[in-house]
Amino acid sequence: MRRIVSLVAVALAISGCSVGGSGEQPGGRSVVLVTHDSFEVDPALLERFRADTGVRIDVRKSGDAGALTNQLVLTKANPIGDVAFGVDTTFASRALDEGVFAEYRSPEAAKGPQRYAVDDTGRVTAVDVGDVCVNVDTAALAARNLPVPAAYEDLADPRYKDLLVVEDPATSSPGLAFVLGTVARFGEPGWVGYWERLKANGVKVVSGWEEAYTQEFSGSSGKGPRPIVVSYASSPSAEVGADGLPRTAAVLGTCFRQVEYAGVLAGAKNPDDARKVLDFLLSEPFQAQVPDKMYVYPAREGVALPEAWRKAAPLPENPAVLPAGDIQANRERWVEQWRAAVPR
């Protein structure tokens, strides 16, 4: 899933990480962690893990959640790594149906990640949560004498005409998650009619999160023309002003729960050490740095959020959800229906 990491210009600086195969490497054992482009970790944590276990984590980035899943499926007969992290709610069932992951129940999974289990096989384990929600530029709406919208229905109100920008679900993970949220809210076929109303109300569709948030949205660095955007529940934590107050807000009535999973790959060359890496991703030290490094919420219980998050970006309590199997069975059809309702 695309992250707000780019918004704060966090540079990848993973000391000792490389792209390459798994197994023995000069200086000790190595595990290949295949992940998405937004993966970020404190290099000191990796060094500590290597010192404790004798295992070096080599990171291989493979695009967004969809691209990562596709690559894992296409290479399942000859896995490109030992562990994969970043397959999310929208693609988890596909990866499981294709037999990408081996069963492994980490002892750390019982400390919170089990809340987000896809099924009871233990093949994938939740690492983080990144709910997709509408975000608003509160000052820009106030300047128009408009209240902050509270729910999906408000976005189709003529008062908000030409103010909303969304991402294409065919090319964007948050765009797809937002569409899934409307399916959960309005059901079938009502969700299609809702999008037709959004189209009539001037919704703008762009290819991805970067363009939507940093170019079209007025509440971020690009100072674009539209004060309402599809982003993440965590986004306001990156928009806190010098006064300590957030300049934007997430509309919690429009959130869809998006979880990212990790698992040991079936056929991994180094499964024993791969299990240690999965345990590491669920450990308290790794989970504690997830908000600052990847702008998502830790899956582990009891991990404190940064102060800015507690004020500006609490984890939504009642996000929309859909069964993973329903998403897998209907994803492509829903995207095609969306295309018909919102032609670009």
CATH number of the domain enclosing 299:
3.40.190.10
Same domain, 122 and 195: no
For the chain, give the percent of residues with pLDDT over 90.
81
pLDDT classification of 21: cutoffs 50, 70, 90: very low
Same domain, 181 and 208: yes
Q: What is the pLDDT of residue 10?
A: 32
Domain count, the chain: 2
Q: What is the pLDDT of residue 18?
A: 41
Print the domain residue range for 264: 4-129+258-312
Same domain, 232 and 101: no
Q: What is the pLDDT of residue 13?
A: 33
What are 124-166's pLDDT values in tens digits?
999 999 999 999 999 999 999 999 999 999 999 999 999 999 9
| 277-301 b/e (C-beta count within 10 Å ≥ 16 → b) | bbbbbbbeebbbbbbbbbbbbbbbe
Over residues 336-343, mean pLDDT: 96
What are 306-332's pLDDT values in tens digits?
988 988 999 999 999 999 889 999 999
Closest-CA residue to 176 (of 332, 342, 6): 332
Closest-CA residue to 163 (of 238, 208, 218, 222): 218
Cα–Cα distances in Å, from 75 out to 67, 72, 128, 244, 262?
12, 5, 25, 47, 17
Same domain, 182 and 302: no
Same domain, 187 and 85: no
For the chain, give the percent of residues with pLDDT over 70.
92
Mean pLDDT of the chain: 91
Same domain, 252 and 262: no
Q: What is the pLDDT of residue 25?
A: 47
Same domain, 264 and 232: no
Same domain, 181 and 252: yes
Same domain, 185 and 325: yes
Give the start-end residues of each E strand in the chain: 23-25, 28-35, 55-61, 83-88, 125-129, 132-137, 164-167, 204-206, 228-232, 248-256, 259-264, 297-298
Same domain, 30 and 102: yes
What are 222-234's pLDDT values in tens digits?
899 999 999 999 9
pLDDT classification of 65: cutoffs 50, 70, 90: confident
Same domain, 186 and 273: no
Same domain, 152 and 70: no
